[in-house]
Every structure is written in structure tokens, then in C-alpha cells.
Amino acid sequence: MSFGGFGMEIGKALPLGSTVTGRGVNFSVFSRNATSVSILLFENPRSDSPYEEIRLNPKKHRTGDIWHCQILGLTAGVFYLYRVDGPYIPEKGFRFNYHKALIDPYTKALTDFSNWDFFSCMGYDPEEASRDLSFSYHDNLFTLPRCIVIDDDFDWQGDTPLNYPLRFSVLYETHVRGLTKNPNSGVQYPGTYRGVTEKIPYFKDLGITSLEFLPIQEFNEHENYKINPKNGTRLTNYWGYSTVAFFAPKNSYAVDNTPGAAVREFKEMVRELHKAGLEVILDIVFNHTAEGSEMGPTFSFRGLDNAIYYILDENPRYYKNFSGCGNTVNCNHPVVRSFILDCLRYWVIEMHVDGFRFDLGSILGRDQQGRLMENPPMLEMIAQEPALSQTKIIAEAWDAGGAYQVGWFPGGRWAEWNDRYRDDVRRYWRADPSKTRHLATRLSGSSDLYLRDGRKPFHSINFITSHDGFTLKDLVSYNDKHNGDNGEDNRDGNDDNNSYNYGSEGPTSDPDLESIRERQLKNFFTTMMVSLGTPMLLGGDEIGRTQRGNNNAYCQDNEISWYDWSLVEKNANVFRFAKEIIAFRLRHHGFMRPEFYTGRDGNYNAIPDISWYDDKGDAPKWDKLNYCLALRMDGSKADILADRDDNDFFIMFNAGLEPAVFRIADAPEGKTWVRAVDTGLPSPEDILSPGNEKPLKSPKTYTIAARSMAVLISKDIP
């Protein structure tokens, strides 16, 4: 068979997607209930109509539920879409629509999104949105991005994923565009993968080990139609939690706008980050897609096999909405499980990423009716997948449907974003009553959450702030959210932030107030770095980045979200402290021990691996503690389960409003305590470099200023 000068063969059912074979391109797509499938080929990204429409013969080009063919003579760079026909019976969950061109779920790249008319993909006339007119003859062909056939060849120069053990990692959550988009970023290619690469010296100076990127899988930033009421500008989908193509890196983050160049530039970024010893972790969104609710657009999964890809309501015309975004992916359907695993394998094997953070991860544990499962096959398969055995897998262990699984996320080796850590540490340093005992639990790796099912302290991802909420600077500058720029009358975003402004809302010129806020930033940094678990910083917190009190900046692709690099100099004291405390943690294996504390002596020196004290030096009465707490950690290799001894540590916390005099435990025999960190002291005395630690004025007591903490380490007596 031939057409347009090209030959056509039956082809192969696997792998799914478009594959360059050397003789042509093999196309393969899943649809169980379709009655016809056509491949549309385009001469260029802007072609209004295909130059060929190839209708597949189900008797020849179908194996089971997979439609396939090989078109001879085609090469990488070909543009294509699908048309799929079948029953349109919404009350039975079928929403096939031949008038809607469809994106291949396995496409590795898409063309430009800038002209994509969101409503052309809709299943209804927007002027009649109150009616369910999903079956529409409005063809979306003219504006829908085209899929691009990609050749996976790339010169990796010997690169492989770094796969650092979690306990030796310090994560840094950031956004590809926002990191360098500000004109003062000092890079040649702002807002791009190459811009990230240009910031490698900064990341090395800061000392983090791993970059955790907000979604980079292709999404439509233009889908948000809200207007900023303050200046009348159109808002965007800035964060990207609305995936269109799961295998495709974001096209607009590339410098080269040649179709498919984003794949190469993403790989270049990963390769260069790895050369610098920096991991790449992707925030990935399998819980829902950009097709939205029953009133949303049809451009991929819905038109291929709606009832298989999504969890439908008891009335299949509607969708279960455990994501809060209109639909829920049917993650535990066998076909969808295969899709998710294929996607993860691709990003690890072909794109060399080191890990994933799964947005609203609890949805991956729901069955096909939306019920939470005790042993979800999807989560177990991810944890047991051989190609991912060294890959970090991190769950956001909740969803918008009421699931909350922090501490009991199923599936084995999963790490979790620990929001209990976030909230307890925030409340302690805000000086909420009766929170000191909770601080002790979080410092100890949250054994209340992770010990019972055999997980380790490093499975707790310890964070104070993330993209979702206040920045650290805003956490200590605002009592309330200020989201008026989002076009929702300040209704969006969390109202319960456990924040405190210390007397004045927002920016201040009061030096005393600024001093308190700066001290609290240092307290948060230090608490994270001396806690068992895996610390994660929100990018920009180390330089005091602010979002002006906006705690839901999902739609702000502007100075609200972009990093202000002038703060590196303006807040040099904070930046220096952040660098030094990260380095302090990574020098001391005692804070990265692989097991929970036992309270027992592991090396027969009569000192337990951890001991707790109140400010008087007595064992704490946990239910009656004030805002003072101290701990002693034995650094002997037997107690920290390392191959060499560390220092011993004596750490004191005072969230109270008055200074506190702590009685210090005796230093180990032949050693003395010296001061390494004291957040109550001005820079550069607040943290001291190795070899420059200061001896104590008194060997028995130490005074901690209000809202401060200190870290003493043991050293040999000269």
C-alpha cells in the first residue's frame, strides 16, 4: 500500500507512540472502543489541514486494542495528530468525536502552544455553557498543537542518573521559568532550560544536591482566562499542574523554537547539571489532565477512550473529581498503569532524571470507583519497577477528595512530603502553646509516622515552605494571605498558614522588626538541617524572596513569582547563613543517620544516641514544657551507624519571648563544647566555619536569646 509517495506497512503494536525505525516511522495508539482511527500528517507546524489522512484498516492495523502502522520513508520531525471515531454516548461514558483531532498520549514533543484556542477543543459552545452540548462539530484542527516524531539519539557523554541516597540529599524546589526570568538574573537565556544551566555556579555555591522542578511536562500556560483586577493583565497557568502531554518537555522553556528542540535542550540541562553533581527531580501530575470536567476540552484521552482513562461518576456522563481540577485519572486501570510506568521509565531511561514528586499522590491509590485501596497495584508497581529501583519516588500523600495518608502512604519505599513537620515547626517558632514536644518528634525523624511500617527517617521530606503557600520571608512577614492579584477576590489559597508578622503586615523599615524576621529565617533553616529526614528548601528562601503575601501564585508569571536576584546582595547575611548551615549538615553524618534514635547507648560510653533536656538540664516533662528544649546527640560511629565518628552535639531551642539560660550536659571525656551556631547573634557570629568555632564563656551554662537556637559541637581539648 502507498500514498503520497510513501509506502505503508502493518507495523507493530509496541512500543506505543511514534517510533523512528530506520525504514520509516511506526505509529501505535491504544483505543479499545474506537470504531476507526486515522493518522493526520502535516507538512509544517502551521498547516491548516493535513496533507495526508491515513485511515487504518482494523482488520490489518489492529492488534487487540492497539491500532498501528508503519509509514515508510518518514523520518524524525514529522508532524501528526489522530482522529478517532466511535460511539458518543455520554450516559455510558463514551465521548468519541471525529471532529476533534487528538494528541498522541505518548508524543515526546509538541509544537508551539501560543495559538491554541482553548475553546476550539471544548465539547460545547461557551455561550451555552449551562447546557451539556459536548458533541460539537467545531473542529479544533486549526489551532491544536501538532505531535512531533522524535529520534531519541543524543550524546550523553557517558552521563547516567546520579541517584544520591535520600539521606545525603538536600532538595531545592524551583521553577524553570521563574528561576531566571527576571531581567536581573544575569543569564543569557532567561526563563529556559539553558538559564537553569547558567545558574549551576550559584547552586554549587549554595550547596544543595538536588533540584526539584515544578511541572515541565507540556502544559498550556494560556488556559487561564482570569484577569488581574489590579492591572487588567491576563493571568496564566504558571505552575503547570495541568498536563497536556506527559512524555513531552515544555516547549516554551527552550531557547531554540525549532520543533522538537525542547527535548534536546532538556537533555542538555540534565547532562550539565549531572556534571556539576546536581540531581534532577520532576514534579509530575498523574492525578488529572488538562481536559477538565465534562464541560472541558477534548484533545487526547477523552477522545481516545474516556471510560478507561478517567474515573467516572455513578452517572458516567460526569467525572469523579478527587483532584479538584475537574477529572481524575483512572490510575489503577491496567491500561493506565502501563501508561504511567511507560512514562516514568522514559524520563529515567531516555531523559536521565533522578526522581519524581507525585502531585496529589493519593489518587494513584484509588480504585476504578474512586475508593482508596489497601494495597494499590499502581503504587506497588512504581516502587517495585526495576528501572526505577534507584530513583527517588516522593508522594504528596493526600488529594482533594479527602484522602490524607501522611505516615501510611502504601506501596513500600515511598518518601513523603511531611506537612506535619511543616506545621509543627512553624507553630513552635511562632510560640504557639504546647508545641515543644511536637518539635522533638519532628527533629527525631517523625518516628510516629514512619517507624511502624518499616520506613526510615529519610522517607520524611522535611520542609517549611513549598511552591504552594507563603515563601519563608512571607511566612514571617504576613498574618494573612494577599491574593487579590489572582482575580478571585482573595478567596483562593490557604487561610491557615501558621504565619506571623511580628507586629506589622508586610514590608517594614523598622530595623528591630527586620532583625526578628531574619532571625526566624535562620531558625527555620537550622531546624531543618539538624532534623533527621530529608530537607527541602523552597527556591529563593535562601535570599529572602517574597511573593508580596500571595500564598497561591499559580497564575503569576511575573515579578511576584520570578526570583529577584538583587536579594543575593541585599540579604547577603541570610544567604551566607543558608549556605553555611547546608554545608554544616552535609559535613556531619550524625544528622543523616539511616535509622531512628533508640535512646540507648550503642558504643558503651554511657551516652545514649540522643538525650533530651529542659533548660534546667533535667529530663523534660513533655506535657509541661515551656518554649525551651535541648538535646544531646552522641556522634560515635556506633550510635550514628556510620563508618567514622562524628562530633557530639548539644542543641538548644528557645521560641520564647525572653532569653533563657540553659544548663549544658557535660562534654565527652577529653573534649569540650564549642559554639558552631547561634541564630541570636549577628552575622558573621551566627554561624562559624570549621576550625573557627568559639569556646564557651561558661562550661556549664549557655544563654539563648529570645526566638533563637544554638548548636554546640564537641572538640578535643588542646
Residue 294 is among the residues annotated as catalytic for this protein: no
Dihedral sign from CA coordinates of 352, 355, 357, 361? positive
Task: Provide the phi-psi class of 24: left if phi over 0, else alpha when psi is between -120 and 50, else beta.
Answer: left
18 contacts 40 by C-beta, under 8 angstroms:
no
DSSP string computed for 166-183: GGG--EEEE-HHHHH-SG
Residue 272 is among the residues annotated as catalytic for this protein: no
Going by the DSSP 8-state scheme, the letter that residue 310 receives in this structure is: B
Which residue in the list 212, 279, 305, 396 is annotated as catalytic? 396
Phi, psi of 227 (to 5 degrees): -120, 140
DSSP string computed for 67-80: EEEEEET--TT-EE
For helices 572-587 and 511-530, the axis angle rounded to 10 degrees is 20
- The three cell numbers of residue 176 are 524553570
What is the number of H-type helices and E-type strands within the chain? 15, 30
Q: State the CB neighbour count (10 A cutoff) for residue 412.
A: 14
Our CA dihedral for 254, 260, 265, 270, rounded to 10 degrees, sits at 120
Pairing, β 649-654 against β 708-716: antiparallel
What is the Cα–Cα distance from 519 to 705, expressed in whole angstroms? 10
655 contacts 637 by C-beta, under 8 angstroms:
no
- Name residue, grid cell 502501563: 338
Name beta bridge partners: 88.
95
Would you call 500 helix, strand, or coil by DSSP? coil
- Residues with Cβ within 8 Å of 681's Cβ and at least 6 positions away in sequence, in order, are 705
Rg (CA), the chain: 27
Which residue in the list 265, 272, 359, 648 is annotated as catalytic? 359
Q: Which of 633, 702, 700, 709 is nearest to 677 (CA)?
A: 709
What is the Cα–Cα distance from 652 to 530, expressed in whole angstroms? 11
Going by the DSSP 8-state scheme, the letter that residue 162 receives in this structure is: -
Task: Provide the phi-psi class of 469: left if phi over 0, else alpha when psi is between -120 and 50, else beta.
Answer: left
372 contacts 138 by C-beta, under 8 angstroms:
no
Task: Provide the phi-psi class of 471: left if phi over 0, else alpha when psi is between -120 and 50, else beta.
Answer: beta
Q: Where are the alpha helices (DSSP H) in 164-238?
A: 176-180, 193-198, 200-206
What is the Cα–Cα distance from 301 to 285, expressed in whole angstroms? 15
Encoded amino acid at 652, one letter: M
For helices 301-309 and 334-349, the axis angle rounded to 10 degrees is 120
Q: Which of 669, 670, 676 is nearest to 713 (CA)?
A: 676
- Name residue, grid cell 489497601: 374
Phi, psi of 473 (to 5 degrees): -65, -40
Q: State the CB neighbour count (10 A cutoff) for residue 600.
A: 9
First to last CA, the chain: 88
304 contacts 105 by C-beta, under 8 angstroms:
yes
Determine which helix (DSSP H) or strand (DSSP E) holds 213, and give its type and residue range. strand 210-213
Pairing, β 392-395 against β 415-418: parallel
DSSP string computed for 489-541: TT-SS-S------TTSSS----HHHHHHHHHHHHHHHHHHHHSSSEEEEETTG
Catalytic residues: 359, 396
